[in-house]
Homo-oligomer: A and B are copies of this chain.
Amino acid sequence: MRLSQFFLPVLRETPKEAEIVSHQLMLRAGMVRQASAGIYSWLPLGFRVLKKIEQIVREEQDRTGAIELLMPTVQSADLWHQSGRYQAYGPEMLRFEDRHGREMLYGPTNEELITTIFRDGVKSYRDLPKNLYHIQWKFRDEVRPRFGVMRGREFLMKDAYSFDLSAEAARQSYNKMFVAYLRTFARMGLKSIPMAADTGPIGGDLSHEFIILADTGESQVYCHSDLIETRTPGADLDFTADLSPLIASWTSLYAATDEKHDRARFEAEVPEAKRVSARGIEVGHIFFFGTKYSEPMGCRVQGPDGGMVNVQMGSYGVGVSRLVGAIIEASHDQSGIVWPLPVAPFEVGLINLKAGDKDTDKACDDVYGKLTRAGISVLYDDTNERAGGKFATMDLIGLPFQLIIGPKGLKGGEIELKERKSGERMTLSPEAAVKRLTELVSARRVLA
C-alpha cells in the first residue's frame, strides 16, 4: 500500500480527551475516531489490526472444532423475558421499541438466542458435543464510557456457546476453550494468565478470566509468578484427548482477580518471593453455567436411554476490539506503538527519503515490488513529507520493521533496515535486505 493512496490522518499532539496511552496512541496513529461517546469508527490502519486479531481468534476457535455462524445485533426482548434476564440486566442494556412498539434490544450477549437456535436444530445426544460461535458487534450502554476501545459502548466480541449431554462432557468443552484462549493470546504476542473469576450476569459457578499484565491495567490481580513462565500449548495439541492434566498445570497455582482474591490462601499457597500482585487487563472470560438457560428455554435433547435431557452449556468470550487497545497497553514506547508482527497492520514500513528523485524512487519501487510479491505486507511512504516527519510517523504507527532508502546510501549500494522494537539498525544491499526481511517476517508470523 502506498501511503499517498492510503488514509492515515495522524495527529502530532496528544488529544486531551484520552486518558490512557492506548487511547492516545490509537487517536494519534489515525487508527480510530470517536463517532459519539464510547462509539468509534475504525480508520483503515485500525481496521487492519482489528481484522488480524479477529482472524487469529477465528483460526483458534476453528482448531477446536467450534463452528462459526452469525447472530444479529438486534434481538427481541421476548427471549430475555423467557430467560428472566430482561429485568435482571441493568441499564447497560440498550432497549428500544421498533415502529410497531415491540420491545427490542441491542444484544450485549447471546445466550438466549443461541439456545433457541440450538433447541430448534438439534434433537439427539448423537449430535453432541457442539460449540457454536460468532464474532459480532455488541452494545453495552456504559454510564461513563472511557479508555477508548478498551471500554467502549459498541464493541466487537467473539462469543462461543458449548452444548453437552453431561456436566463431565461440558468440562471437556470448557477445557478446549481454555486452551484455545491461551493459544489465541500468545499468537498476538500476549502472555495471558487464566484466573478464577466471578460470573456476574452470565451466571454459573465455574469461570476464568484471561488476564494480561500491564501497568495501566484496569484491575488488581494476584498470581503465582511461575504462571508467567508456563509454556503455551503448541499447534500440535490433540483437542480430542483429555485436556484435564494440561488445565491442571495452569489452575493448580494461585491466580485470582480482585473479586475472587483470598489473601490468606494467597499467602499460604504462594512463597513470598513468588507472589505477584499487579495490574491486569481482561481479554477473555469463560463460563460454565449448566442448565441456567437450557432449562427455562426448553433446550432438551433425547439421551441414550430415550429420556429428554436439558443440555449443559457454557459460554466463552473474547474482547476482539478491546484487544487492540490491550496489545498497545502491553507493547509501546515513548515514540509510539510497537506491534507484535502477527497483529501489525503492515509488516514492513518502507521510507523513501527523497520522493521524486529518480534513482531513489526506482530503488523503492523495486524493493516494494519484491516484498509484496513475496507475500509481505508493506506500507510504502512515497509522500513528499520531510524525513523527520516520516521517521516520526513510522515509529508512531509501530510497524515491526522499517526499510529506509535514500540517495546517499544508494550511492554506496546500501539501504537501512531497522527493527522497531529494539531500534537496531543494519546497513545492507537492497537484495540482502529483502532476503533478510523475508526470513525475519516468516519467523515471527508463527507461534513456536
Contacts and interface: CB of A to CB of B under 8 A. Distances in A.
A99 B104 contact: no
Contact of A41 (B9, B43, B113, B141): B113
A147 interface: no
Contacts of A96: 94-97
A214 interface: no
Interface in A59-89: 65, 67-76, 78
A42 interface: yes
Interface string A46-63: 110010000000000000
B7 A69 contact: yes
Nearest to A50: B70
A137 interface: yes
A137 B44 contact: no
A143 interface: yes
Contacts of A141: 98-99
A422 interface: no
Q: Oligomeric state, in number of copies?
A: 2
A223 B33 CA distance: 44
A154 interface: yes
B41 A67 contact: no
Contact of A121 (B7, B50, B143, B153): B7
A71 B9 contact: no
Residue of A30, A47, A98 with highest tally of chain B CB at under 10 A: A98
A114 to B, nearest CB: 8
A35 B99 contact: no
B91 A70 contact: no
Contacts of A222: none
A74 B137 CA distance: 10
A72 B117 contact: no
A151 interface: no
A376 interface: no
Nearest to A141: B99
Interface string A130-142: 1010000101010
A167 interface: no
B70 A117 contact: no
A178 interface: no
Given A94-B96, A117-B43, A121-B9, A154 B33 contact: no
A6 B6 CA distance: 40
B91 A69 contact: no
Contacts of A121: 7, 9, 30, 33, 43
A334 interface: no
Given A70-B42, A121-B30, A75 B7 contact: no
Contact of A44 (B67, B104, B143): B67
A130 B94 CA distance: 35
B36 A104 contact: yes
A5 interface: yes
Contacts of A43: 69, 117, 121
A106 interface: yes
B73 A137 contact: yes
Interface string A110-128: 0001000100111000000
A65 B33 contact: no
Contacts of A206: none
A42 B122 CA distance: 16
Q: Sorted from nearest, which 10 A-B pairs have the closest CB atoms?
A: A9-B121, A96-B96, A36-B76, A42-B70, A41-B71, A72-B154, A39-B72, A99-B141, A91-B99, A44-B69
